[in-house]
Amino acid sequence: MIDFVFNNRYMSCLFFCIIGYLCGSVMFAYWIPKWIKHIDTIQETDDGNPGATNAFKNAGIHCGMLCLLLDMAKGAFPVYLSRYFVEESWIGFSLIMICPLIGHAFPLYQKFHHGGKCIATSFGVLIGLFPDLKLGFSLAIWYILFSTLIIIQPHALRTIVTYGGFIITSFFFTTNWFILIGCACMAIIVVCRHLKSLKESEERKIQWVFRQ
């Protein structure tokens, strides 16, 4: 049975898609603050988002850092492991890349509700492409740019612009169309998860720090 799964690319793809979704469905930023600090990051936060940012804000830096690392790990683990069994030059690999984000956005263990916004998990997926980390560095640079030199408010708008820039520059860092498809799908998921917050926000501004 094991040989059949791992020697058949379709079954291998299905296996890692399921593993990726199940890993993504573990909402560490909900469970860890609840277990350690008895804080419910869904009920006790303004946006009801069980993500690493709210874990930092409400449960402290140690809980927040642990949640952040685990949210990244659950994206990296299934993608990195799948590369030993599924070729990257195939659409199945694109599906494997997005499954952890789908799990994080629509978690099985939360009855498909109260999902996160997928930023840390998307970074984890890009780390799963190790040792080729150019795409991960590209996304990080866009975040740093719009958080320090060109400050975009609110966070939802900054994230949407960041992932838009990330998709544009991804073409310069990989020639693998299937990884590009995976990156584009991840960006779409992240953007969609932030649209509601953007609509609810009243403050929208772009500030270039060198003009101060």
pTM for the whole structure: 0.92
Which residues, 6 or more positions from 133, have their beta carbon under 8 angstroms from its beta carbon?
Answer: 126, 127
Phi-psi category of residue 201: left, alpha or beta, with phi > 0 → left and psi -120 to 50 → alpha: beta
pLDDT, tens only, 178-209: 999 999 999 999 999 998 888 877 777 777 65
For CA atoms 171, 172, 177, 178, give the dihedral sign: negative
pLDDT value for 3? 61
DSSP string, 5-66: HHTSHHHHHHHHHHHHHHHHT--HHHHHHHHHH---TTTSSSS---SHHHHHHHH-HHHHHH
Structural domain total, the chain? 1
Query: Residue 203 has what pLDDT?
Result: 72
Q: What is the pLDDT of residue 102?
A: 97
What is the extent of the structural domain holding 121?
Answer: 2-211
Q: For residues 191 and 163, is the Cβ–Cβ distance under 8 A?
A: yes
DSSP-derived 3-state class of residue 187: helix
Low-confidence ranges of the chain (pLDDT < 50): 211-212
Residue by residue, DSSP assigns 123-163 as HHHHHTTTT--HHHHHHHHHHHIIIIIEEEESHHHHHHHHH
Give residue-wise pLDDT tens across range 106-132: 999 888 888 899 999 999 999 999 999
